[in-house]
Amino acid sequence: MSSIYQELKHECYEANMQLNALNLVIYTFGNVSAVDREKEVFAIKPSGVPYEDLKPEDIVIIDFENNIIEGEMRPSSDTKTHAYLYKNWKEIGGVAHTHATYSVAWAQAQRDIPIFGTTHADHLTADIPCAPPMRDDLIEGNYEHNTGIQIQDCFRDKGLSYEEVQMVLIGNHGPFTWGKDAAKAVYNSKVLEEVARMAFLTLQINPEALRLKDSLIKKHYERKHGKNAYYGQK
């Protein structure tokens, strides 16, 4: 049966299947959404469905006030966090959440991931932020909505731009990532996991390892994202 959201559901489905193919999740631990800015809705994985059983038509369509617009299934339990991010950060096209091992380990350690090298600087110029645990009254309240606020507050407190820094760790929980579309959000989840693993190993080898110096951060970020970028095809 046709739906005006068919293409959006398909984008969302494909991105969710990538989480699995990239070894970023086991079982049902993770979810990706994709937004349609014109229609002001997003498509998201249904809750608790194993990736091997997931079908494009299972994807649920939600508006920014968390109303189900289309779909038979219950959406991801993290849906309100996605809605909050789409509503407040206008340039985001996709959001991903995983429990990828090294990303979760840094989140559980409640540590920002220091920028130790060019792999990191190829993607962002700041340490990867770890948002502190939420206040108890917010946890007992509208938890997933408040997770959105928690992310936004963290970016405000640290003076970060969500357009440059497309990833965050939620203390004691795990990573959220985003990007221009759902595929880019998943890409950022994979990059984060790899950078988290490299940083872990770096500190094991040299507990006194220094952050990358500013000139190298700038050089690598600019050659990929700056005005005169020369990485990739035109």
Measure the CA–CA gap between 110 and 97, rounded to whole angstroms: 17
Smallest gap from Cβ 90 to a copy of itself, in A, equals: 27
Measure the CA–CA gap between 187 and 148, rounded to whole angstroms: 21
Judged by CB, which is closer to a copy of itself: 155, or 200? 200
Catalytic residue among 27, 157, 214, 231: 231
Tell me which residue of 45, 16, 30 sits closest to 99, measured CA to CA. 30
Smallest gap from Cβ 230 to a copy of itself, in A, equals: 6
Judged by CB, which is closer to a copy of itself: 160, or 212? 212
Annotation says 122 is catalytic: yes
Smallest gap from Cβ 145 to a copy of itself, in A, equals: 13
- 20, 12 contact by CB (below 8 A): no
Identify the burial level of 182 via C-beta atoms within 10 angstroms of its C-beta, where 0-12 means exposed, 13-18 middle and 19 or more buried. Answer: buried
- 96, 178 contact by CB (below 8 A): yes
Judged by CB, which is closer to a copy of itself: 8, or 195? 195
Identify the helix (H) or strand (E) that includes residue 199.
Answer: helix 182-205
Judged by CB, which is closer to a copy of itself: 36, or 222? 222
Annotation says 127 is catalytic: no
For binding to a copy of itself (CB under 8 A), which residues are involved?
Answer: 26-29, 46-49, 73-74, 77, 99, 101-102, 104-111, 116-119, 133-134, 136, 139-140, 143, 172-174, 187, 190-191, 194, 197-206, 209-210, 212-213, 215-216, 219, 223-224, 230-234
Catalytic residue among 112, 122, 153, 181: 122
- Token pair in block for residue 179: 């990007």
Measure the CA–CA gap between 25 and 31, rounded to whole angstroms: 9
Q: Which are the catalytic amino acids? A: 122, 231
